[in-house]
Amino acid sequence: MKINTNCVIVTGNLTRDAELRFTANQKPVLNFCVAVNRRGMNGEQVADFFNCVLWGKSAEALEQYMTKGKSVLVKGSLQTRSYEGRDGSKKTATEIIADAFGGVELLGGGPQERTGGSQPQSYRQPAQKQRNDFAPQDDYGAFSVSDLDPVSASPAGDTADIPF
């Protein structure tokens, strides 16, 4: 029996603030883009950009913390979808669909956001206003934020030439 696996893990920096939207039936979806630096064939610095999607309560809980420049780790699977562009042409998009539980981890931000310790910090999302199709949610539970140094977390070891 042949086993197929679709598993992706990327660590990089957010290229823009994450965007929280809701489907027609009020399901939350968070869209964000991660830039990952790597060495090219000739040793030059190259950046790859990955569009990512996170669904559900995790999307709502993380949205306020996912701002441009933050270091993140995304675990999930690749998905390619087709859609019709505004001009009517057929387009395709390949995205990382983050795992609903633990698929996105914040790895600490710039120097002004570091606390100096290496223990994870816990944050709690404040209660959200009740939406039409949702039962009231008082708490989304805690998620941890690792306090890693983004310089040592990047493959190149230098964040001075990040493309954003």
Task: Dump pLDDT digits (tens) for 67-98.
Answer: 999 999 999 999 999 999 899 999 999 999 99
**Cα 2 to Cα 5, 76, 107, 137, distances in angstroms:** 10, 21, 36, 42
Question: What's residue 142's pLDDT?
Answer: 35
Question: What's residue 1's pLDDT?
Answer: 77
Could you tell me the residue ranges of all domains in the chain? 8-153
What pTM was estimated for this model as a whole? Answer: 0.64
Q: Are 13 and 34 in contact (CB under 8 A)?
A: yes
CATH number at 8-153? 2.40.50.140
- According to DSSP, the residues that pair with 84 across neighbouring strands are 90
Q: pLDDT-based confidence at 54, cuts 50/70/90?
A: very high
The whole-angstrom separation of Cα 36 and Cα 162 is: 9
